[in-house]
A = this chain, B = another copy of it.
Amino acid sequence: MSHPVLVVGSVALDSVETPFGRADDALGGSGTYFSASASHHTRVQLVGVVGSDYPVDQLQVLASRGVDLAGVERAEGESFRWRGRYRHDLNTAETLETRLGVFSHFRPKIPAQFRRAKYVFLGNIDPRLQLDVLDQVEKPALVGCDTMNFWIESRRPDLLALLKRVDLITLNDAEARQLTEEANLVKAARWILAHGPRTVIIKKGEHGAFMFHADRVFFAPAYPLESVFDPTGAGDSFAGGFMGYLAQTDDLSEANMRRAVVMGSVMGSFVVEGFSVKRLLEITPNDIAARMAEFHRLVTFDATVA
Protein backbone atom coordinates (compact mmCIF):
# COMPACT_ATOMS: atom_id res chain seq x y z
CA MET A 1 0.00 0.00 0.00
CA SER A 2 1.26 3.44 -0.90
CA HIS A 3 2.12 5.77 1.98
CA PRO A 4 2.90 9.47 2.07
CA VAL A 5 6.41 10.62 2.90
CA LEU A 6 6.99 13.42 5.41
CA VAL A 7 9.96 15.69 4.74
CA VAL A 8 11.36 18.56 6.77
CA GLY A 9 13.72 20.81 4.88
CA SER A 10 14.47 24.24 3.51
CA VAL A 11 12.20 26.07 1.08
CA ALA A 12 14.46 28.66 -0.46
CA LEU A 13 15.04 30.99 -3.36
CA ASP A 14 18.13 30.12 -5.36
CA SER A 15 20.09 32.30 -7.72
CA VAL A 16 22.40 30.16 -9.77
CA GLU A 17 24.94 30.86 -12.44
CA THR A 18 26.34 28.10 -14.64
CA PRO A 19 28.37 28.17 -17.86
CA PHE A 20 25.00 27.73 -19.64
CA GLY A 21 22.96 30.52 -18.15
CA ARG A 22 21.54 31.84 -14.93
CA ALA A 23 18.37 31.78 -12.86
CA ASP A 24 17.37 34.31 -10.22
CA ASP A 25 15.17 33.72 -7.17
CA ALA A 26 14.11 30.33 -8.50
CA LEU A 27 12.42 27.67 -6.34
CA GLY A 28 15.12 25.96 -4.32
CA GLY A 29 15.94 24.39 -0.98
CA SER A 30 16.26 20.76 0.11
CA GLY A 31 12.57 20.43 1.00
CA THR A 32 11.49 21.78 -2.35
CA TYR A 33 13.74 19.53 -4.44
CA PHE A 34 12.89 16.52 -2.30
CA SER A 35 9.15 17.15 -2.66
CA ALA A 36 9.22 17.76 -6.40
CA SER A 37 11.13 14.50 -6.85
CA ALA A 38 9.16 12.36 -4.38
CA SER A 39 5.85 13.63 -5.77
CA HIS A 40 6.42 11.42 -8.82
CA HIS A 41 6.09 8.41 -6.56
CA THR A 42 3.73 9.21 -3.71
CA ARG A 43 2.02 11.97 -1.72
CA VAL A 44 4.39 14.29 0.12
CA GLN A 45 3.96 16.18 3.39
CA LEU A 46 6.35 19.11 3.38
CA VAL A 47 7.35 20.97 6.55
CA GLY A 48 9.37 24.16 6.25
CA VAL A 49 9.26 27.93 6.49
CA VAL A 50 9.17 30.76 3.99
CA GLY A 51 9.45 34.50 4.51
CA SER A 52 6.81 37.12 3.83
CA ASP A 53 8.50 37.83 0.48
CA TYR A 54 8.15 34.26 -0.82
CA PRO A 55 6.24 33.83 -4.08
CA VAL A 56 3.98 31.19 -2.51
CA ASP A 57 1.87 30.97 -5.63
CA GLN A 58 4.87 29.32 -7.27
CA LEU A 59 4.59 26.50 -4.72
CA GLN A 60 1.18 25.67 -6.20
CA VAL A 61 2.95 23.57 -8.84
CA LEU A 62 4.02 21.32 -5.98
CA ALA A 63 0.55 21.30 -4.43
CA SER A 64 -0.96 20.31 -7.77
CA ARG A 65 1.43 17.37 -7.82
CA GLY A 66 0.21 16.07 -4.45
CA VAL A 67 2.53 17.91 -2.09
CA ASP A 68 0.61 18.88 1.05
CA LEU A 69 1.85 22.34 2.04
CA ALA A 70 -0.01 22.49 5.37
CA GLY A 71 3.34 22.32 7.17
CA VAL A 72 4.92 25.21 5.26
CA GLU A 73 4.78 28.08 7.69
CA ARG A 74 4.92 31.68 6.55
CA ALA A 75 6.96 33.88 8.88
CA GLU A 76 7.55 37.61 8.99
CA GLY A 77 10.87 38.43 7.34
CA GLU A 78 13.06 37.45 4.43
CA SER A 79 13.07 34.01 2.85
CA PHE A 80 16.15 31.79 2.82
CA ARG A 81 18.23 32.75 -0.19
CA TRP A 82 21.23 31.00 -1.70
CA ARG A 83 23.35 32.37 -4.49
CA GLY A 84 25.91 30.14 -6.16
CA ARG A 85 27.98 29.58 -9.21
CA TYR A 86 29.28 26.54 -11.05
CA ARG A 87 32.44 26.70 -13.14
CA HIS A 88 33.19 24.79 -16.29
CA ASP A 89 33.52 21.32 -14.68
CA LEU A 90 30.18 21.65 -12.83
CA ASN A 91 31.49 19.59 -9.95
CA THR A 92 31.60 22.08 -7.13
CA ALA A 93 29.18 24.81 -6.26
CA GLU A 94 30.83 28.03 -5.26
CA THR A 95 28.58 29.70 -2.70
CA LEU A 96 28.49 33.43 -3.32
CA GLU A 97 25.94 34.29 -0.66
CA THR A 98 23.73 32.59 1.91
CA ARG A 99 21.02 34.59 3.67
CA LEU A 100 19.19 32.41 6.17
CA GLY A 101 16.40 34.92 6.81
CA VAL A 102 13.41 33.35 8.58
CA PHE A 103 15.15 29.97 8.34
CA SER A 104 17.53 31.00 11.14
CA HIS A 105 14.64 30.91 13.64
CA PHE A 106 12.92 27.88 12.12
CA ARG A 107 11.41 25.47 14.63
CA PRO A 108 9.63 22.73 12.72
CA LYS A 109 6.03 22.21 13.86
CA ILE A 110 4.62 18.98 12.50
CA PRO A 111 0.89 19.38 11.80
CA ALA A 112 -1.25 16.86 13.70
CA GLN A 113 -2.32 15.14 10.47
CA PHE A 114 1.36 14.50 9.50
CA ARG A 115 2.45 12.95 12.80
CA ARG A 116 1.64 9.37 11.93
CA ALA A 117 3.78 9.40 8.79
CA LYS A 118 5.31 5.99 8.19
CA TYR A 119 8.14 7.38 6.05
CA VAL A 120 10.03 10.40 7.35
CA PHE A 121 12.98 12.27 5.88
CA LEU A 122 14.89 14.82 7.90
CA GLY A 123 16.49 17.13 5.34
CA ASN A 124 19.75 18.89 5.98
CA ILE A 125 18.96 21.19 8.93
CA ASP A 126 20.37 21.60 12.46
CA PRO A 127 20.52 18.12 14.08
CA ARG A 128 18.80 19.61 17.14
CA LEU A 129 15.80 20.40 14.96
CA GLN A 130 15.98 16.99 13.33
CA LEU A 131 15.78 15.46 16.83
CA ASP A 132 12.92 17.81 17.61
CA VAL A 133 10.99 16.49 14.61
CA LEU A 134 11.50 12.91 15.77
CA ASP A 135 9.91 13.85 19.11
CA GLN A 136 6.82 14.99 17.21
CA VAL A 137 6.22 11.91 15.05
CA GLU A 138 4.73 8.58 16.07
CA LYS A 139 6.52 5.34 15.26
CA PRO A 140 7.61 5.82 11.67
CA ALA A 141 8.67 2.65 9.83
CA LEU A 142 11.66 4.35 8.26
CA VAL A 143 13.44 7.56 9.24
CA GLY A 144 16.13 8.87 6.93
CA CYS A 145 18.27 11.94 7.44
CA ASP A 146 20.75 14.07 5.57
CA THR A 147 23.43 16.35 7.00
CA MET A 148 26.35 18.55 5.93
CA ASN A 149 29.88 19.63 6.84
CA PHE A 150 28.67 22.60 8.91
CA TRP A 151 26.65 20.39 11.30
CA ILE A 152 29.32 17.70 11.44
CA GLU A 153 31.71 20.34 12.70
CA SER A 154 29.45 22.46 14.91
CA ARG A 155 26.86 19.97 16.19
CA ARG A 156 28.74 16.69 16.46
CA PRO A 157 27.19 15.49 19.79
CA ASP A 158 23.66 16.24 18.51
CA LEU A 159 24.40 14.54 15.22
CA LEU A 160 25.67 11.43 17.03
CA ALA A 161 22.50 11.44 19.14
CA LEU A 162 20.47 11.69 15.94
CA LEU A 163 22.32 8.77 14.34
CA LYS A 164 21.08 6.52 17.14
CA ARG A 165 17.50 7.38 16.25
CA VAL A 166 17.47 7.10 12.46
CA ASP A 167 17.30 4.05 10.24
CA LEU A 168 19.19 5.54 7.37
CA ILE A 169 21.51 8.43 6.55
CA THR A 170 22.44 9.89 3.19
CA LEU A 171 25.60 11.93 2.95
CA ASN A 172 28.25 12.65 0.39
CA ASP A 173 31.73 11.14 0.37
CA ALA A 174 33.45 14.22 1.80
CA GLU A 175 30.91 14.39 4.62
CA ALA A 176 31.31 10.68 5.36
CA ARG A 177 35.06 11.12 5.60
CA GLN A 178 34.69 14.21 7.78
CA LEU A 179 32.22 12.53 10.14
CA THR A 180 34.20 9.33 10.56
CA GLU A 181 37.78 10.50 10.04
CA GLU A 182 38.24 7.51 7.72
CA ALA A 183 39.57 8.16 4.21
CA ASN A 184 38.34 4.77 3.00
CA LEU A 185 34.61 4.80 2.25
CA VAL A 186 34.06 1.16 3.25
CA LYS A 187 35.58 1.88 6.64
CA ALA A 188 33.63 5.14 6.88
CA ALA A 189 30.38 3.29 6.17
CA ARG A 190 31.21 0.66 8.77
CA TRP A 191 31.88 3.40 11.34
CA ILE A 192 28.50 4.99 10.67
CA LEU A 193 26.68 1.64 10.79
CA ALA A 194 28.28 1.05 14.21
CA HIS A 195 26.84 4.37 15.41
CA GLY A 196 23.17 3.75 14.74
CA PRO A 197 21.66 3.61 11.25
CA ARG A 198 21.19 0.21 9.67
CA THR A 199 21.63 1.69 6.20
CA VAL A 200 24.15 4.25 4.97
CA ILE A 201 24.00 5.83 1.54
CA ILE A 202 27.18 7.57 0.44
CA LYS A 203 26.64 9.82 -2.56
CA LYS A 204 29.57 10.59 -4.83
CA GLY A 205 27.85 13.06 -7.17
CA GLU A 206 28.73 12.32 -10.79
CA HIS A 207 30.48 9.16 -9.57
CA GLY A 208 27.32 7.47 -8.28
CA ALA A 209 26.16 6.24 -4.88
CA PHE A 210 26.86 3.35 -2.53
CA MET A 211 24.31 1.80 -0.20
CA PHE A 212 25.79 -0.10 2.73
CA HIS A 213 23.96 -2.39 5.16
CA ALA A 214 25.61 -4.59 7.77
CA ASP A 215 27.20 -7.00 5.30
CA ARG A 216 25.94 -5.90 1.92
CA VAL A 217 26.92 -3.19 -0.47
CA PHE A 218 25.14 -1.92 -3.56
CA PHE A 219 26.40 0.59 -6.07
CA ALA A 220 24.47 2.66 -8.60
CA PRO A 221 26.34 4.90 -11.02
CA ALA A 222 25.22 8.38 -11.91
CA TYR A 223 23.79 8.42 -15.40
CA PRO A 224 26.40 9.59 -17.95
CA LEU A 225 24.57 12.66 -19.22
CA GLU A 226 25.80 14.56 -22.19
CA SER A 227 24.46 17.86 -20.93
CA VAL A 228 24.46 18.73 -17.26
CA PHE A 229 22.84 22.10 -17.00
CA ASP A 230 22.69 22.87 -13.27
CA PRO A 231 23.77 20.37 -10.59
CA THR A 232 21.84 22.14 -7.80
CA GLY A 233 19.44 19.85 -5.96
CA ALA A 234 20.78 16.54 -7.30
CA GLY A 235 21.33 15.12 -3.80
CA ASP A 236 17.90 16.22 -2.53
CA SER A 237 16.22 14.89 -5.66
CA PHE A 238 18.07 11.61 -5.12
CA ALA A 239 16.71 11.45 -1.56
CA GLY A 240 13.21 12.33 -2.79
CA GLY A 241 13.27 9.60 -5.42
CA PHE A 242 14.68 7.08 -2.96
CA MET A 243 12.27 7.81 -0.08
CA GLY A 244 9.31 8.46 -2.37
CA TYR A 245 9.76 5.10 -4.05
CA LEU A 246 10.08 3.28 -0.71
CA ALA A 247 6.94 5.00 0.63
CA GLN A 248 5.08 4.17 -2.57
CA THR A 249 6.02 0.49 -2.50
CA ASP A 250 6.11 0.09 1.31
CA ASP A 251 8.73 -2.62 0.87
CA LEU A 252 12.04 -2.49 2.72
CA SER A 253 13.53 -5.67 1.25
CA GLU A 254 17.08 -5.53 -0.06
CA ALA A 255 15.85 -5.91 -3.64
CA ASN A 256 13.43 -3.01 -3.30
CA MET A 257 15.93 -0.76 -1.54
CA ARG A 258 18.35 -1.34 -4.42
CA ARG A 259 15.63 -0.31 -6.83
CA ALA A 260 15.00 2.75 -4.64
CA VAL A 261 18.68 3.77 -4.88
CA VAL A 262 18.47 3.55 -8.66
CA MET A 263 15.20 5.53 -8.57
CA GLY A 264 17.07 8.18 -6.56
CA SER A 265 19.78 8.24 -9.22
CA VAL A 266 17.13 8.45 -11.96
CA MET A 267 15.52 11.50 -10.32
CA GLY A 268 18.93 13.09 -9.70
CA SER A 269 19.79 12.57 -13.38
CA PHE A 270 16.69 14.48 -14.46
CA VAL A 271 16.95 17.48 -12.13
CA VAL A 272 20.41 18.47 -13.38
CA GLU A 273 19.09 18.77 -16.94
CA GLY A 274 17.53 22.15 -16.16
CA PHE A 275 17.52 25.02 -13.71
CA SER A 276 15.72 24.70 -10.38
CA VAL A 277 12.97 22.04 -10.28
CA LYS A 278 12.04 22.68 -13.93
CA ARG A 279 12.77 19.19 -15.27
CA LEU A 280 11.11 17.51 -12.28
CA LEU A 281 7.89 19.29 -13.22
CA GLU A 282 8.12 18.26 -16.88
CA ILE A 283 8.95 14.57 -16.78
CA THR A 284 6.36 11.86 -17.12
CA PRO A 285 6.08 8.32 -15.72
CA ASN A 286 7.25 7.11 -19.13
CA ASP A 287 10.39 9.23 -18.93
CA ILE A 288 11.14 7.78 -15.52
CA ALA A 289 10.54 4.20 -16.64
CA ALA A 290 12.70 4.74 -19.74
CA ARG A 291 15.60 6.09 -17.73
CA MET A 292 15.27 3.31 -15.17
CA ALA A 293 15.66 0.89 -18.08
CA GLU A 294 18.69 2.84 -19.32
CA PHE A 295 20.31 2.55 -15.88
CA HIS A 296 19.73 -1.17 -16.07
CA ARG A 297 21.34 -1.42 -19.50
CA LEU A 298 24.23 0.72 -18.26
CA VAL A 299 25.38 -1.75 -15.59
CA THR A 300 24.03 -5.13 -16.63
CA PHE A 301 26.44 -7.93 -17.39
CA ASP A 302 26.34 -11.71 -17.26
CA ALA A 303 28.89 -12.91 -14.70
CA THR A 304 29.08 -16.41 -16.16
CA VAL A 305 32.66 -16.47 -17.42
CA ALA A 306 33.90 -18.76 -20.14
Q: What is A's interface to B at a CB cutoff of 8 Å?
A: 88-90, 183-187, 190, 204, 207-208, 210, 216-221, 224-228, 245, 248-249, 251, 255, 258-259, 261-263, 289, 292-293, 295-303, 305-306
Contact = CB atoms under 8 A, between A and B. Distances in A.
A221 B224 contact: no
B226 A186 contact: yes
A292 B299 contact: no
Contacts of A216: 297
B259 A301 contact: yes
A186 B225 contact: yes
A1 B301 CA distance: 22
Given A219-B298, A289-B305, A303-B259, A224 B248 contact: no
Contact of A305 (B217, B224, B263): B263
B228 A302 contact: no
A295 B299 CA distance: 11
B228 A184 contact: yes
Contacts of A301: 218, 220, 255, 258-259, 261-262, 296
30 contacts: A88-B183, A89-B183, A90-B183, A184-B226, A186-B225, A207-B208, A208-B221, A216-B297, A217-B224, A217-B298, A218-B298, A218-B301, A220-B299, A220-B301, A221-B221, A245-B305, A251-B306, A258-B300, A258-B301, A259-B301, A259-B303, A262-B301, A262-B303, A263-B305, A289-B305, A293-B303, A295-B303, A296-B301, A296-B303, A299-B299
A221 B302 CA distance: 15
Contacts of A263: 305
Counting from the closest, the 8 A-B pairs by CB-CB distance are A296-B303, A258-B301, A207-B207, A186-B226, A249-B306, A299-B299, A219-B221, A186-B224
A234 to B, nearest CB: 15
Contacts of A224: 185-186, 210, 217, 219
A269 to B, nearest CB: 12
Contacts of A303: 259, 262, 292-293, 295-296
Nearest to A228: B184
Contacts of A207: 204, 207-208
Nearest to A2: B306
Nearest to A249: B306
A240 B35 CA distance: 47
A259 B303 CA distance: 7
A305 B2 CA distance: 13
Contacts of A184: 225-228
A147 to B, nearest CB: 21
Contact of A292 (B204, B210, B225, B305): B305
Contact of A299 (B219, B248, B251, B297): B219
Contacts of A297: 216
